[in-house]
Homo-oligomer: A and B are copies of this chain.
Amino acid sequence: MTTMKDIANRLGISISTVSKGLNGAHDISEHLRQAVLNTAAEMGYQTKKMKQTDYKKLCLFIQNMRYESPMDFGYDIILGFKQAAFRDRWNVDIIPATSSLQKSESYDIYMLKNGYNGAFFVGFSLQDEWLAQLTNTNIPTVLFDNHISRNPWVASIGSDNEEGIDAAIEHLYQLGHRKIAFLNGPIYSMISQKRNQAFLNSLKKYNLTIYQDFIIYGDFSFESAKKYIPHFLKNDVTGILCSSDMIARGAITECQNRGYRIPEDISIIGFDDLPISSTLDPLLTTIRQNRLILGRTGYFSLNSMLHGVSLSQTLLHPELIVRASTAKCSQAPLDLE
């Protein structure tokens, strides 16, 4: 366990100067204070507060994701995490990890200064600065839908995308669909890249032709569909898999606006099973991620890391929920008739 003396020795300064740097005293220079904090973070120093068992603090950083209302993707994840953490008497702060916050300070120093024992990252993209810094952190950190390889202090959780995508493609295949498009999320999201690979694997599994121009990286929004749907329709696509329910909602609207019926003409599948998916017309077939349990799993993984169990990855089974937006393909091959 690193002590203030270790930091003092490393920097060749007195223990009292180290203490001043750690506690934000004003009678040392900003330059020296930064050197103390950097060295403390680098050496894995834990403040007294962090070691106290009666005041334990975790934080959940959220970025690029809505979570304010029960309709939002992040809401249940946060709820599940908090419920499980509170039962073990942790305090939990929810902190939007804005890009200016990430630029203002390194992750390790932010955690040290604020006395957090560990963190759960939700919604980060591959472009986020703190994500890149996790290769070297020694603060127990759990990532939702991201992965850092070979750091024993960093674990990942998420849904088994391979399984979810495969269940969706099998469903479309069994309904006779052969020309299937994929409206994916943004390319700078790890999960989009995984789902892209899963989609290709499933097409191969069912001997379906891969049409590269029907496999689209967009973003997780309602508007994402608008740009690509006309191209799909012109080229006789009959099934569209979407990487979120919001994308699927956009796809349904776009098809309907152009006179196509869902599911009679086009089958559409979403991802997530947000509350919205059971209010759409038609009700949306989608791949359910149990977000409450994902949140809880985030906590249990973090708790395991805090107890020395070095987890690399935990994936949950997603579940295909078949509703009304998918049906037998009107151009189904004869062997299905």
Where the two chains meet, the residues of A that have a C-beta atom closer than 8 Å to any C-beta of B are 149-150, 152, 159-160, 162-163, 166-167, 290, 293, 296-297, 300, 304, 309-317, 319
Contact = CB atoms under 8 A, between A and B. Distances in A.
A315 B309 contact: no
Contacts of A162: 149
A160 B317 contact: no
The majority secondary structure among interface residues of chain A is mixed
Nearest to A320: B150
Given A311-B314, A315-B312, A166 B152 contact: no
Contacts of A159: 312
Contact of A312 (B152, B312, B317): B317
Nearest to A296: B309
A286 B3 CA distance: 32
A167 B152 CA distance: 12
Contact of A311 (B150, B166, B316): B316
Contacts of A311: 297, 314-317
Given A296-B309, A309-B296, A152 B319 contact: yes
Contacts of A304: 300
Nearest to A162: B149
Contacts of A167: 150
Nearest to A313: B315
Contacts of A290: 310
15 contacts: A149-B166, A150-B163, A150-B167, A150-B317, A152-B317, A159-B312, A160-B312, A296-B309, A297-B311, A300-B300, A309-B316, A312-B316, A313-B313, A313-B314, A314-B314
A151 to B, nearest CB: 8
A162 to B, nearest CB: 8
Question: Which 4 pairs between the two chains have the least Cβ-Cβ distance?
Answer: A160-B312, A310-B317, A312-B315, A313-B315
A300 B315 CA distance: 14
Contacts of A310: 290, 293, 316-317, 319
